[in-house]
Structure 1
Amino acid sequence: MEDYYEILGIDKTSNSGEIKKAYRKLSIKNHPDRGGNPEDMKKINAAYHTLGDDEKKRMYDMQKNNPMFGAMSGGMPGGMPGGMMGNPEDILNMMFGGGIPFPFPGMGGGMGMPQVRVFHNGRPVNMPNMNKPTPIVKSLEITLEQAYTGLNYPLKIEKWVMEENVKKIEHETIYVDIKAGIDDSEIIILRNRGNMISDTNIGDIKLFIKVINNTEFVRDGLDILLTKNITLKEALIGFQFDFKHLSGKTYTINNKPGKVVTPDFVKEVANMGMKRTRAHPASPLVGNLLICFNIKYPETITEEQCKQLAEIL
């Protein structure tokens, strides 16, 4: 196996920036257009193609450092051709896709040695260097009212569980605690509730929240906005109306005669917006309710009305 670290002249602990810097330096120096050796350039490109990608780098390090991979790439028991399993991804798929059970490092030997493995409830334990399963991704739709109050959402999932090197499908209902104040496009991570390789290697569940708003309110951070259309008459002599809050309660808003509502007037009602829990639940973050008044003026008025208004105003 080529030593990609040696080819790029870097350490195994080099970060992505150092890997890229080394690649650029070598590619300029060894480029065929500058008189470099094409074969050397191929090796440099191959090294960077692997080490420059986090996932491929992990697979490369696993294959390079794990003697199990070296044994399998040189030839398989039972007459399987050497090189067939040279790709670490193929090896992992065989191991976790219900294929041939191989011994794992630290579990009692390698090729030609006793294959002693430890299981708990039919599942292998203490399997080092295994990547965590990819997360199960789900999208949850909730209403704005549910986002205001919070809820316990019953989430149905399908996941796989490894039992004696066989992948088995299971169905489960998980009750997800969605906190009050959650916003649209937020992501909830359920740690170690997804696909399972072993008791110590369990994937996550990633939930994308979609808040559906079919109300007359508009959310603005923790504040909620309510636009109320009123007539010129109501702006001048008063009004009263009811509205249903996101909490489900009904409130009455009025303006007594003598207090004129001006264009674009906004009434702010403290602590009636969205609530958001924080480190100290006893003192959550709370927004306000903003009632925005939009005065609808008449398109025309009569001469008599003009005279009356002139006398009054």
Structure 2
Amino acid sequence: MAQKRDYYEVLGVDKNATEDQIKKAYRTIAIKYHPDRNPGNKEAEEKFKEAAEAYDVLHDPQKRQQYDQFGFNGPQGGFGGFNATSMNMDDIFSMFGDIFGGRAGFGGFGGSSHRGPQQHRGSDLRLKVRLTLEEISTGVTKKFKVRKDIPCSHCHGTGAEDGSGTEICPTCHGSGVITHTTQSIFGMMQTQGTCPNCNGSGHVIKNKCRQCGGTGVEKGEEVVEIKIPAGVAEGMIINVPGKGNAGHNKGINGDIQVFVEEIEDERFIRDDNDLIYNLLLDFPTAALGGDVEIPTIQGTKLRVKMEPGTQPGKTLRLRGKGLPAVQGYGRGNGDLVVNVSVYVPKTLSREEKEAIERFKHSDHFQGDAATKRSIFQRFKNYFN
């Protein structure tokens, strides 16, 4: 059995991390190693469970205090939760569903452990949506034409022909489960399982629909509107409950998982909720100062005053002009970070060359010692 890793190390946060930082770190890891994105990958599944165990302790102030003081075992030999080796996926999703935004977050693991008559649940669907930064900044509603299982138009989803209805399953007598009794060295053992005759529903159809063969569903299309919240990022998955495939025999609809992709922007570079804009400043404005216009993702332009003698590499931070945080995972907007570069023309007219030559040996064009030291230090840091 592998040795447990420190919970803070698992989530990649320090011991002074805030609750929001812990929540954000867990969500990032959960997205990366989610079983829906790593089907059949046991290593990813274990990392997913390990992160859930760490989050279970660190997001709870009391458990976190006990962990910081006593380590993995807690003051009474444990935290009363679960451990990574024994966790069940359904347990994780039921405990932390709010982290992912739905029944099972990304879908695919929604079931329950109940026994008795069950409704059939339709399978989940997956869609991909490509978003611009403008759409991400405001949120957007997208329409998709989806091919999926829909209720049968002939029997209206019942699976029965001519309204013949259903009858109690003779195998399980309506319970939806069957009990197996076997003899073992420990005595008589009983186990329960889903009834194979009615698939857990407790009823069987008397006369199956000739169009759907008794399933209650057929292939069709539906236009689905999906609301994408502001602030989403590449790799996030939005769960849309009840818009997946229809369940057999008027069962429960599955969900749709929408995978988010970002379209690269020509003006801005995204850094979490901050946006980076590279401003190419002309030499006269850099030397003499003046007003420049900075575009924003909101579609407006901001007039910013540049001081005389603005140096290449200067950074401006315009507070609150970045992207909004996804609801529930932070507050407010990020910033717009402006990196200043100075444009040096490649070609000059004779008059321009003569003008520059006149100032070439001026002390002001040589740079003072402090400026030279600053440039040297920047290059030194870059190559180190």
Using structure 1 for the length normalisation, give the TM-score. Answer: 0.52
Secondary structure of the residue aligned to 1:310 is coil
Match of 1:169, as an amino acid? K
Q: Secondary structure at the match of 1:285?
A: coil
Match of 2:140 in 1: 151
Counterpart check, 1:207 vs 2:196:
no
Distance in 2 (alpha carbons) for counterparts of 1:231 and 1:304: 16
CA contact (8 A) 2:123 2:247 kept: no
Q: 1:279 to 1:305 in 2, by over 3 A?
A: closer
Give the whole-Å Cα distance in 2 for the aligned partners of 1:196 and 1:298.
Answer: 64
- The answer as to 2:167 corresponding to 1:178 is no
* Residue among 261, 271, 277 paired with 2:310: 261
Q: Does 2:281 correspond to 1:230?
A: yes
How far, CA to CA, are the matches of 2:288 and 2:133 in structure 1?
Answer: 34
Residues of 2 paired with 1:246 and 1:144: CA distance? 7
Correspondence for 2:335: 288
1:298 shift after superposition: 4.8
- Tell me how far 1:157 sits from its aligned partner: 1.4
Point out the structure with max Rg over C-alpha.
1
Where does residue 290 of structure 2 map in the other structure?
239
CA contact (8 A) 1:223 1:289 kept: yes
Within 5 Å, which residues of 2 pair with 1:86-97? none
CA distance in 1, matches of 2:278, 2:354: 32
Aligned to 1:187: 237
Aligned CA distance change for structure 1 residues 305 and 173 (closer, same or farther; 3 Å): same
Q: How far 1:286 moved relative to its partner?
A: 1.6
* Matched residue SS, 1:254: strand
Secondary structure (helix, strand or coil) at the match of 2:247 reads strand
Deviates more, 1:143-152 or 1:168-177: 168-177
Aligned equivalents of 2:303 and 2:355: distance in 1? 35
Shift in Å at residue 177 of structure 1?
Answer: 1.5
Q: CA deviation at 1:148?
A: 0.6
C-alpha contact (below 8 Å) 1:152/1:178 kept by paired residues: yes
Q: Which residue is equivalent to 1:279? A: 328
SS in 2 for 1:218: strand
Cα separation, 2, equivalents of 1:154 and 1:304: 60
Measure the CA separation in 1 of the matches of 2:142 and 2:282. 43
Q: Structure 1, residues 92-145: CA drift from partner, whole Å, max 9, x if none?
A: xxxxxxxxxxxxx97xxxxxxxxxxxxxxxxxxx546x5x44321111122110
Percent pairwise identity: 18
Q: Which runs of 5+ in 1 are unaligned?
A: 1-15, 18-53, 55-104, 107-125
Query: Higher mean Cα deviation, 160-169 or 287-296?
Result: 160-169
Which stretch of the first structure deviates more once superposed, 142-151 or 184-193? 184-193
Distance 1:173 1:303 in 2: 68
SS state at 2:361 partner: helix
Q: Is the 8 A contact 2:123 2:253 kept in 1?
A: no
Decide whether the 8 Å contact of 1:145 with 1:247 is kept in 2.
yes
Cα separation, 1, equivalents of 2:233 and 2:321 = 16
Q: Select the structure that is richer in strand.
A: 1
With over 3 angstroms needed to count, the CA separation of the structure-2 counterparts of 1:298 and 1:279, relative to structure 1, is: closer
Kindly provide the CA deviation profile for residues 24-43 of structure 1, in whole angstroms up to 9, marking residues without a partner as x. Answer: xxxxxxxxxxxxxxxxxxxx
- Structure 1 residue 304 displacement after superposition: 5.9
Deviation at 1:303, TM superposition (A): 6.6
CA distance in 1, matches of 2:280, 2:327: 36
Give CA deviations for 1:266-311 in whole Å, capped at 9, x if unaligned.
100111110014339xx83321000111122356884763442433
Q: CA deviation at 1:156?
A: 2.2
RMSD across aligned positions (CA): 3.1
Is the contact between residue 277 and residue 285 of structure 1 (CA under 8 Å) also seen in structure 2?
A: no
Retained in 1: the 8 A contact 2:132–2:262? yes
After superposition, give the CA deviation of every residue in 1:56-107 in whole Å (9 maximum; x if it has no partner).
Answer: xxxxxxxxxxxxxxxxxxxxxxxxxxxxxxxxxxxxxxxxxxxxxxxxx97x
3-state SS of paired residue (1:147): helix
Q: Displacement, 1:254?
A: 2.8
- AA aligned opposite 2:259: F
* Equivalent pairs, count: 187
Q: Distance in 2 between matches of 1:304 and 1:271?
A: 42
Query: Any unmatched runs of 5+ in structure 2?
Result: 1-41, 44-87, 89-114, 152-156, 160-213, 365-384
Q: After superposition, where does 1:1-313 map in structure 2 within 5 Å?
A: 126-127=117-118, 132-161=121-150, 163=157, 164=159, 165-166=214-215, 167-198=217-248, 199-256=250-307, 259-279=308-328, 284-298=331-345, 302=353, 305-311=356-362, 313=364
Q: Which amino acid aligns with 1:186?
A: M
C-alpha contact (below 8 Å) 1:222/1:286 kept by paired residues: yes
